[in-house]
Amino acid sequence: MNEMSLRRLLQPFKLFRNLTKKPMTLVFPQEALPPVDNYRGRQFLDPEKCVGCGMCSRVCPNDAVTMVEYMDKKCPEINLGKCCFCALCAENCPTGALYMTSEVFIAGYDKSFAVYGPEKLSKKEGA
């Protein structure tokens, strides 16, 4: 083995300098990365502002949004099991009644948990 390749063989040992650095990962349930401001988490509905135009339901690529009766008008019901979190519904809402929050802990134990009706959508911190 010539001198050059021996030097190349010893190169990876420079990696030991990483021992002085902080770990890249976090201990997840105790600590988590803070979400950014405009993160596309689950939707939030302000039923007062909603005019029931149905734009959110029409632009949804996955048919996750259906319009249901709520407070004497049509309001969106979102099936998060179908939602791809593209935020087209929130972006195209003419009154700004529907918008995205940075809430990402939305796992449940059965499929019906993923269906967010107008009432559940208008509550922050999940159901």
Q: Say what the alpha-carbon torsion angle 60, 64, 69, 75 is, to the nearest 10 degrees.
A: -40
- CB closer to other proteins, 26 vs 127: 26
Residues at the contact surface with other proteins, assessed by CB under 8 A: 5-6, 8-9, 11-12, 14-15, 18, 24-25, 36, 38-40, 55, 58-61, 84-88, 91-92, 100
- For residue 69, what are the β-bridge partners? 74
Minimum CB separation of residue 12 from other proteins in Å reads 5
Between 61 and 108, name the residue whose CB sits nearer to other proteins: 61
> How near is the Cβ of 124 to other proteins at its closest, in Å?
18
By beta-carbon proximity to other proteins, the closer residue of 55 and 75 is 55
